[in-house]
Amino acid sequence: MGRLFGTDGVRGVANADLTAELALGLSVAAAHVLAEAGTFEGHRPVAVVGRDPRASGEFLEAAVVAGLASSGVDVLRVGVLPTPAVAYLTGALGADLGVMLSASHNPMPDNGVKFIARGGHKLDDELEDRIEETYRAHAAGEPWERPTGAGVGRVRDYGEGFDTYVNHLIGVLPNRLDGLKIVFDGAHGAASLVAPEAFARAGAEVTTIGTEPDGLNINDGYGSTHLGRLKATVVERGADFGIAVDGDADRCLAVDASGEEVDGDQIMAVLALALRETGALRKDTVVGTVMSNLGFKLAMEREGIELIQTAVGDRYVLEAMKDGGFALGGEQSGHVIILDHATTGDGTLTGLMLAARVAATGRTLAELAGVMERLPQVLVNVPDVDKTRVASTPELTAAVAEAERELGTTGRVLLRPSGTEPLVRVMVEAADIDHARAVAGRLADVVKSTLG
């Protein structure tokens, strides 16, 4: 059996890979590991538990709550709220642990269990490893020590979490959104109620789509991974722009008034300039990944802002932000972290801050996003190759060097082995899409012939 914890908790097909028994066992293990680590020392422990609207979240929530309470942890059940809301409430309420049940942008049959540390931050990898080891030991038959009588945890619904989170979002906005007409797409997910409420309270006129979750329709044709309906609705309604989040609302993408997509790189470019104006862009630096568009890097250079690039994955972006004390980072996918106001990517917060910039400047989103030119980016997956030899094959190294010379300063090449599959990803950026495709095709052929 492989490692249970991935880069974002434990995920799998609900009731197949991720069962009630597994969710319960992991929750009991988490309670014991945190107790041994001293997290609960001197007080009665409290956990915040939330979920997205997937049907499977109902039984998985029951299992997690049962596991925690049976281990002596009091539980505040906040119901359907975004992942960043559960993280925020974990910190704001001084809870010892947060648990979010969601598989983010994955299809409905999937679900996940994500543990959040005290303060609302990601649980350390070392603690995740210990939780997994403890779970496996007890799954093999080792008995648990369990409290009895008044020692068992108590469970109560915490409906106040909704308003607490909305008030937080509005409280950090630099200005109101009065006069803006916005379309919001909630992916039939966790932000379906809370995000429209936040935009409306901030003064925007909000039209909603994808905000009628029934437990089965999350991410189905709506949200940040399916922008077609949002584009059409923005144009049809004559809105100023549109905002789309994913199922657990940790990502945000936008659409301008003409229906053109504004991706995570463009959103970060707009927010970087906004934060720098107020002195909040610490060290005049933004953190992206190696997949950040070259146009983003060139724009930041032109504006005198440094771009630090990490490996792909929001966890690496967050690590670099914490290590360097930076305020803004994120990915092209719309996972944007504004560290002064959130401990993780928060799609609703990102959308609100973007809207605030439009309202404050009086400029359109298209004008603001025009600070960077998004260069055409071609990605080719080359399957069934020996990805371990990417950096050590002279013929491939020479082909990449030749491609880089050909593209010059207005293009870029990236060869990246997949972390989970036997394939190599070839990414090429160029000023012209046909040129990018031609170079990517040639490099893919070299990858296939040298590593196949």
Which CATH number characterizes residue 417's domain?
A: 3.30.310.50
Task: Look at residue 82 and tell me if it is in a domain.
Answer: yes
In the chain, how many domains are there? 3
The dihedral sign for the CA sequence 170, 172, 178, 183: negative
User: Are 151 and 172 within one domain?
Assistant: no
Which CATH number characterizes residue 139's domain?
A: 3.40.120.10
What is the reported pLDDT for 410?
Answer: 83
User: Are 284 and 315 within one domain?
Assistant: yes
User: Are 62 and 117 within one domain?
Assistant: yes
Residues 112/116/121/125 CA torsion (nearest 10 deg): -80
Task: Look at residue 70 and tell me if it is in a domain.
Answer: yes
User: Are 353 and 252 within one domain?
Assistant: yes
What is the reported pLDDT for 142?
Answer: 86
User: Are 313 and 245 within one domain?
Assistant: yes
State the DSSP H helix or E strand holding residue 363, giving kind and residue range, or none if neither. none
What is the reported pLDDT for 313?
Answer: 84
User: Are 64 and 174 within one domain?
Assistant: no
| Residues of the binding site for Mg(2+) | 104, 246, 248, 250
Task: Look at residue 283 and tell me if it is in a domain.
Answer: yes
Q: Which of 159, 194, 226 represents a domain boundary (last residue)?
A: 159
Task: Look at residue 5 and tell me if it is in a domain.
Answer: no
User: Are 199 and 233 within one domain?
Assistant: yes
User: Are 386 and 360 within one domain?
Assistant: no
Which are the contacts of 226, defined by CB distance < 8 A and separation ≥ 6? 187, 219
User: Are 132 and 184 within one domain?
Assistant: no
| Residues of the binding site | 104, 246, 248, 250
Task: Look at residue 2 and tell me if it is in a domain.
Answer: no
What amino acid is encoded at 96 in this protein? D
User: Are 143 and 239 within one domain?
Assistant: no
Over the chain (452 residues), the average pLDDT of each successive run of 10 is 82 96 97 94 96 98 98 98 98 97 95 96 92 93 92 98 98 97 98 98 98 98 97 98 98 98 98 97 96 94 96 90 97 96 97 98 98 92 89 90 90 84 88 93 92 84
User: Are 261 and 332 within one domain?
Assistant: yes
What whole-number distance in Å separates Cα of residue 241 and Cα of residue 262? Answer: 10
Task: Look at residue 4 and tell me if it is in a domain.
Answer: no
CA atoms within 13 A on the CB side of 344: 27
Would you call 104 a catalytic residue per the annotation? yes
What is the reported pLDDT for 1?
Answer: 54
User: Are 17 and 142 within one domain?
Assistant: yes
What whole-number distance in Å separates Cα of residue 185 and Cα of residue 226? Answer: 10
What whole-number distance in Å separates Cα of residue 149 and Cα of residue 143? Answer: 19
Task: Look at residue 422 and tell me if it is in a domain.
Answer: yes
Catalytic one among 104, 192, 224, 333? 104
Residue-by-residue DSSP string for 77-123: EEEE--HHHHHHHHHHTT-SEEEEE--TTS-TTEEEEEEEETTSPBP
Quote the tokens at residue 18: 């991720």
Are 121 and 41 contacting, i.e. CB atoms less than 8 angstroms apart? no
Q: Which of 369, 398, 425 represents a domain boundary (last residue)?
A: 369
Task: Look at residue 390 and tell me if it is in a domain.
Answer: yes
Show the domain range for 186. Answer: 164-369
Residues 361/365/367/368 CA torsion (nearest 10 deg): 60
Q: Which of 112, 141, 159 represents a domain boundary (last residue)?
A: 159
